[in-house]
Structure 1
Amino acid sequence: MIITLGGLAGTGTTTTAELLSEKLDIPYISAGYVFRQMASERGMSVLEFSEFAEGNDDIDKEIDKRQAELAKSSDNLIVEGRLSAYFVEADLKLWLVTPFDVRSQRIAERESKSVDVASEEIIVREESEALRYMDIHNIDIKNMDIYDLIINTGTFNPEEVSEIILTTLKVI
């Protein structure tokens, strides 16, 4: 079974992927991890790398390529990433949403920064990413038509989110 899991920063995609991986006993890969790894390799922050990637289409293409290749060679895999659903043939395509203030708080805690700084960085990063996605792939990140299930992780805790997904898997 191949599952894609997407969502904007702070929606809980990594937490959800980890829980699903554990409950289903299948591995997961993360586009965010690949992105952060590539930023680190270049000695940049995620924000700096996001701005750098805005002028370098090869960054996004490389992330997409790595994910698609791994999914093709796997029988069971959870692929976590904002654009994963567009590039990975999947049995279930999920998108997580969360109110902006909740996402800002989560990121501030995770990255040990103020909520104001986290909020400003989210806005800059998401504007940059939306431009890249449209320019490179002609994908409108706000279009939810490709997803089978959209879950508000501001309403449900991680355990409840994983249970919603597991229940959904029983009917597909």
Structure 2
Amino acid sequence: MRITVSGLPGSGTTSLSRYLSERHGFTMISAGEVFRQCAKEHHMELAEFGRLAEKDPAYDKMIDARQKEIAEKKDNIIVEGRLSGWMVEKADLRIWLFAPIGCRLERIVFRDQIADIGTAKAITLEREHCEAVRYRQYYDIDINDLSIYHLILNSEHWEVNELGAIVDTAVGQLQAACGKTA
């Protein structure tokens, strides 16, 4: 089974992916963590690294190609990332997590240890705009087109284990349809 988990920064995609990976024993691949690691390796903030990636498509394309290649070769995998729903063509379950900007900013301030909400908002909105432009340019993908997703969940209203329970039900139904047990 191949599951993708996508959403905007701070929506909880990494947390849900980790939950699903642990719960079902699936391998997890995270584009965001790879991107953050690349930014650190280049001694750059995320927004700054995003601008670099905007100028040189090799950064995005390398991360996306690596995720896609691994996902196509493996089974029982969770692929987390903004584009994973688009990139993993043989995904059995595509999930989009949504959360209002205020909720996401609170999470981002905590996660990325940003000084205040205003700074987090400026960085996040710039990052989202930069990514949307790159996705359109590189792949002709409109990140706001959610029509490819099987589940769209608002992560503001549920803790990760509650979101996980919803997805667990979907996974169980898919496995039952394929003759596998959860």
Q: TM-score, length-normalised on structure 2?
A: 0.92
| 1:166 corresponding residue in structure 2 | 168
CA RMSD of aligned residues (A): 0.9
| 2:39 corresponding residue in structure 1 | 39
Deviations 1:109-167 (A, max 9, x none): 11222111111111111010110011111100000011111000011111110000001
Structure 2, unmatched stretches of 5+, are 175-182
Question: What amino acid is the match of 1:120?
Answer: A
Question: What amino acid is the match of 1:168?
Answer: A
- Report deviation, 1:37: 1.7
| 1:18 corresponding residue in structure 2 | 18
SS in 1 for 2:153: strand
- Report deviation, 1:42: 1.8
- Report deviation, 1:26: 1.1
Aligned residues: 172
- Report deviation, 1:34: 1.2
- Cα distance between partner residues in 2 of 1:62 and 1:125: 18
- Report deviation, 1:41: 2.2
- Report deviation, 1:21: 0.6
| 2:54 corresponding residue in structure 1 | 54
- Report deviation, 1:70: 0.7
- Cα distance between partner residues in 1 of 2:42 and 2:168: 38
Q: TM-score, length-normalised on structure 1?
A: 0.97
**Structure-to-structure mapping, 1:131-146, within 5 angstroms:** 131-146=133-148
- Cα distance between partner residues in 2 of 1:90 and 1:112: 33
Does 1:120 pair with 2:127? no
Structure 1, unmatched stretches of 5+, are none
SS in 2 for 1:151: strand
| 1:105 corresponding residue in structure 2 | 106
Question: What amino acid is the match of 1:99?
Answer: P
Does 1:152 pair with 2:149? no
| 1:79 corresponding residue in structure 2 | 79
Identity of aligned residues (%): 42
Segments ≥4 residues shifted beyond 2 Å:
none
